[in-house]
Amino acid sequence: MYQQDRFYTLEEVRRMKVDYGAIDSVSLEYYINGMAINSTEHTCLTLCLKNGETVLEVLEQKGGMADKVRLYKAERKDWNEILGIIESENLCAWSLLRYDYSKPLRPQMTDVSSRSSIVIRTDSLKKAGSLDSFSISRDAVEQAGGNELYRSVSNILLRSQKADDLLSEEILEPKGNLISLKIVSGDKFYEMVRNGSECLLSVNRWEDGRLKERECTYLITEKDRKKIEETARKLGLYCYAASPYFHDLELGYQENGFGFVAVKTLGISCFPLKEEEKEKVAAFIKTVEEMMTKGRIKEEYGDSGTKEETPAVPGSWTCPCCGYTNNMGRFCSECGTPKPVEQETSE
């Protein structure tokens, strides 16, 4: 019987009985995490059967770039070889191997880390139409002495990725909402940040590759933020996203995961773009400027770059939802929120 607090040996997991259905796919996943901006990478190679044909699907996720999926034609003998290894070595049970951190394989690196795993997905025996997943850690296998077999399975997946057998390539549209952007255009630097219920869009002076001085910050509505996001998607700006680290335009998309919130930042440098692509970037900047003119001034800065407070209108009230200050009626003129009861009774 499996005991969660034990470190099993390779011989022990080979003898364990693990129930699983028919093999649906076998994947090799590896991650690289660095301390530099946009240095995170995730690659997943998945060998499976689609419509009776053996194919390899390669997902690439890199910081500063849009996710990309490539599909390759693979050989049936590679699929059969992996199935034979899974059967003969009881490979699904290897997912029970745990890495003992008190006995590290190699010195810990503080500026970069990497990890790899083989993931076997099978038809679930518990629920029809669902999959069971068995994840086998490279470090745990290496520590247990099974590194040679791990490499054998990895090499089968890696050799299936042949440029001549490429069937299709797709750049994936980013998920989630556009919550931030940065644009350098001439002597202007535009920046948008969504913070809770507020969305702020600012324009600043840009000179000699840096922020020279602040000019004005606008509060824009959720509707106008969505307009900016829709324009970015319609123009396909994510298709031009690429590293390195300094860009003329950056788009930040909020992606919700299992108990966490991640932001996918896409960086676009206008220098290598074709004229048609530059025109799309210019059209996007025009939309941002239009939404800015529709927004309400939240903060103004003088010639010295110091903040100038916009005086409130006497008798006005501040909306608790969007933060607009100069409301005079019973409803917020910006978002329509009713005037708070305590502010009405105090009058």
Within 106-223, strands assigned E span: 112-123, 131-137, 166-171, 177-185, 188-195, 198-207, 210-219
Question: In sequence order, what are the beta bridge partners of 117?
Answer: 29, 137
Question: Are 92 and 131 a contacting pair, CB within 8 Å?
Answer: no
Domain ranges across the chain: 10-100+107-171, 177-308
The predicted structure's pLDDT at residue 259: 43
- Confidence label for 285 from pLDDT (cuts 50, 70 and 90): very high
pLDDT tens-digit readout, 97-143:
999 988 877 766 667 788 999 999 998 766 766 668 999 999 999 99
For residues 267-293, average pLDDT: 90
| Phi-psi map region of 208: left, alpha, beta (phi>0 left; psi -120 to 50 alpha) | left
Residue at 227: amino acid letter: K
pLDDT tens-digit readout, 140-151:
999 999 999 999
Say how many residues make up the chain. Answer: 347
The predicted structure's pLDDT at residue 164: 95
- Above 80 in pLDDT, residue 328? no
The predicted structure's pLDDT at residue 38: 67
Q: What is the pTM of this model?
A: 0.76
Question: Are 48 and 71 a contacting pair, CB within 8 Å?
Answer: no
Residue whose structure tokens are 């290894």: 85
Give dist(CA 274, CA 189) in Å, integer.
22
81: nearest Cα among 44, 47, 43: 47
- Above 80 in pLDDT, residue 220? yes
Average pLDDT taken over every residue of the chain: 85
Give dist(CA 5, CA 91) in Å, integer.
21
Helix-helix angle 275-294:222-234, to 10 degrees:
170
For residues 247-268, average pLDDT: 75
